[in-house]
Structure 1
Amino acid sequence: MQFKFLTILAATAVATQVLADDHASGDAEAGEKTFRQCKACHMIVDDDGNNIVRGGRVGPNLYGVVGRVAGSVEDFRYSGLLEAAGEQGLEWDEESFVGYVQDPTGWLQDYTGEDGRGKMSYQVRKAEDAVNVWAYLASVGPDEAM
């Protein structure tokens, strides 16, 4: 009986964690630290104009990036390659984000099948860091993203 109870308890704990991490498998706290490098180009400003992270305007606002169609932030000038990816249906999820931030131009070329260059030159070196940044962005996004 005790084994059965512990098995149910463990399964419930795992299921709860899976549901909570529907959009992100990384460590949001570690991602927040890694994001400090990203804020040289990117800010996170919510829909009401509140700064979550003050940052540069070279890159688009990353608030609400979870599930967003690539290249769709109004009034931001994307590369043709990123716009092509969005036109082909790219919606940001953890897998695509992690691949993209590790090799932006190469990943976009593979995704779109087109030549060209992306605007993002910075590359996140470790996949773990990229996963953690994704978890952080999911944690500071709108509630419906969670």
Structure 2
Amino acid sequence: MMKVRLTLAAVFAALASGAVAAPSGQQLFEQRCGMCHSLQQAPGKMGPPLAGVVGRKAASFPGYTYSAALKGSGITWTADKLDAYSKAPTKVVPGTKMLLGAPNDAERAAVIAYLASVKK
């Protein structure tokens, strides 16, 4: 047990010092968002594809059935809007289908920067 604690302590120290690189936005997208979203249209995904989402009007991807709440939100997805929505979707758009948020500020920023780089 002591060995495990020392190992975890070493990992946390390495992360804090920057010796271990944080996951990239692409890696975080694949790990955290990829269960529900793809970049391009993919069968079996619960959420809409997200390539080209930055700058796109909410609820506008053709062929996806959005909630009435998101359709009526009037949102255009800027980095700030994506940040607020992905942190607490139901607070930003009550009645949205997306229920889980991402609490980590740095991870959200990395994913949003990645999505901004991915064009449709």
TM-score by length of 1: 0.61
- Identity among equivalent positions (%) equals 33
Q: Is the 8 A contact 1:41 1:55 kept in 2?
A: no
Show the counterpart of 2:12. Answer: none
* In 2, Cα distance between equivalents of 1:120 and 1:75: 17
Structure 1 stretches of 4+ moved >6 Å = none
Q: Secondary structure of the equivalent of 1:132?
A: helix
The secondary structure found in structure 2 opposite 1:40 is: coil
Aligned twin of 1:131: 109
- Cα distance between partner residues in 1 of 2:115 and 2:43: 14
Higher relative contact order (CA 8 A, sep 6+): 1
Deviation at 1:138? 1.3
Equivalent residues, number = 97
The runs of 5 or more residues in structure 1 that have no matched partner are 1-28, 110-116
Kept in 2, the 8 Å contact 1:43–1:56? The answer is: no
Question: What are the superposed Cα offsets for residues 45-85 of structure 1, whole Å, 9 maximum, x if unpaired?
Answer: 2xxx7xxxx78520001011010000001111111111111
The RMSD of aligned alpha carbons is 1.8
Gaps of 5+ in 2: 1-22
2:79 aligned with 1:84: no
1:56 and 1:138 map into 2 onto residues whose CA distance is: 24
